[in-house]
Amino acid sequence: MTLLNNHRTRRRRLGVAATAAGLLAALLTAGPAVATPDPGDAPVTSEKVSKSEAAEARAAIANGEIPGQDEIVHSDNIQHLANIPKDALPGTNSDLAFQGKYAFAGNYDGFRIFDISNPKAPKTVSQVLCPGSQNDITVSGDLLFLSTDSSRSDNSCSSTTQPATEKSSWEGMKVFDISDKKNPKYVAAVETACGSHTHTLVPERKNVYIYVSSYSPSATFPDCQPPHDGISIIKVPRKAPEKAAVVNFPVLFPGEGADGGGNPGGPTNPGVSKTTGCHDITVLPSKDLAAGACMGDGILFSIKDPENPKIIDQVQDNVNFAFWHSASFNQKANKVVFTDELGGGGAATCNETVGPNRGADGIYDIVGKGDKRKLVFKSYFKIPRHQADTENCVAHNGSLIPVKGKDIMVQAWYQGGISVWDFTNSSKPKEIAFFERGPLSTTTMVTGGSWSAYYYNGYIYSNDIAKGFDVLKINDRRTDPAKKNRLGELNVQTQPDYFD
């Protein structure tokens, strides 16, 4: 581990690789509007840091400890193939989904469709203006789903911001027909309690079920009342998506009183988020399992009956986890990686002060059988490179790299870049590759970096909040077997069975 870290430090000082860029023509003709995000992942903020912090950032760059402003560095086994800057949608870039030769990139102002048949030169197929954070995105067949978690004047794509205290305000799920990738059509909308921060697909032959994660209720919000201790489940008939509707709101954290039964947060557990819903859910349909990252709690549950999920186990980490953000199974479904989004995605938490165990991944083994399975903590993983105090950095969205017999992930860390790491040994995870840019600013905390980094059909795709769409390739004997694996569709939070 020490040798690997020293090698990486030298590579960072060399500052290898220049950005490959290509601004492609957009098909969107209407002028873009700016979406107003709610607090949560990657708040769009610029904030001056102290003079001492700015001086430390400049000194770290001068000493070669971190890359220069906007400089790209990476390990020897990563190639940066392409970068497509943001175009007609200037908002925060968010999640990614894939289907065939297409990548679908969410943005707080709408979404963009890329043709990735040539990963070295992705082409913009279309851009759709439809403001509403976070615009978390998934696809299934001819349908595309988009989350809206900011209070809007109505459910149209021309809506404006409106306070959640007004009954007429709208938040929830939008459904598009993408049978014509050049001309997506908005076909349905479903309002959900507290909006839709993220969502997860549970596909069936005739229907698509959507698990909607949302949180932060208030007695002043007519459509988001406490305790908001569950998830909305939407059923979408494939042949009649306009009939999409909420079919259940299962309570995941039963308990007495207005606060439900999740983590109470502070002052009982200082520094820990109070559980008022879930942030994100990952399902493994082949195993009828789901893992939920729910603010102050991590949960494991059965989805044998997709309309009525059943909790199997619930865990908390009131020492090092501030906000349970996302979850990933390994292929054998005997491990779950949970991420802690300390600071909400807008803070500098990859520094010496915060340390290696906070704002990190938590690796849990799944032990036992059936409804008696338990989540057992094994270790933490955090990128082994300190970032500047002007760089927002924390564990964020990633996916498996499908290597049989190994547990390997690629993961986004905002301005911490992209990390490829091996957790085959749950107790001793290790990084095997990385890619990152230097800070966007040495004087101001500017939100940026990789929101999602996913492996799809031989390549790594990243949606960078500020810099746009990146394509990378890893060449390493440990990950090379994954190149043989091909998928027709990938929504990372609906994990495929790669080897079935």
SS3 53: helix
pLDDT at 261: 87
CATH class for the region spanning 2-490: mainly beta
Contacts of 111 (CB under 8 A, 6+ apart): 89, 104, 105, 127, 128, 130, 135, 137, 144, 146
Percent of the chain surpassing pLDDT 90: 84
At residue 81, does pLDDT exceed 70? yes
pLDDT digits (tens, 9 = 90+) for 170-192: 999 999 999 999 999 999 999 99
Percent of the chain surpassing pLDDT 70: 90
Q: Between 259 and 211, whose confidence is greater? A: 211
Tell me the chain's radius of gyration from C-alpha atoms. 21
- Sheet bearing 207-213, strands edge to edge: 198-203, 207-213, 232-237, 245-248
At residue 68, does pLDDT exceed 60? yes
At residue 103, does pLDDT exceed 80? yes
pLDDT digits (tens, 9 = 90+) for 409-439: 999 999 999 999 999 999 999 999 999 999 9
Residue 104 near residue 144, CB atoms below 8 Å: yes
SS3 453: strand
Find the range with the poorest average confidence among 66-70, 157-161, 191-195. 66-70
Residue 177 vs residues 104, 191, 319, 374, 391: alpha-carbon distances, Å? 13, 18, 45, 40, 38
At residue 41, does pLDDT exceed 70? no
pLDDT at 50: 79
Q: Distance (Å, rounded) from C-alpha 78 to C-alpha 72?
A: 12
Reported as a pLDDT band with limits 50, 70 and 90, residue 15 is very low
Q: Between 337 and 24, whose confidence is greater? A: 337
For 385-398, what is the mean pLDDT?
96
Domain boundaries, the chain: 2-490
Reported as a pLDDT band with limits 50, 70 and 90, residue 48 is confident
pLDDT digits (tens, 9 = 90+) for 441-483: 999 999 999 999 999 999 999 999 999 999 999 999 999 999 9
- Helix or strand (DSSP H, E) at 58: helix 51-62
pLDDT digits (tens, 9 = 90+) for 272-302: 999 999 999 999 999 999 999 999 999 999 9
pLDDT at 370: 95
Contacts of 212 (CB under 8 A, 6+ apart): 147, 172, 173, 192, 196, 199, 231, 232, 233, 234
pLDDT at 123: 98
pTM of the predicted structure, to 2 decimals: 0.91
At residue 403, does pLDDT exceed 50? yes
What mean pLDDT value characterizes the chain?
90
pLDDT digits (tens, 9 = 90+) for 104-120: 999 999 999 999 999 99
For 151-165, what is the mean pLDDT?
97
pLDDT digits (tens, 9 = 90+) for 474-495: 999 999 999 999 999 999 999 9
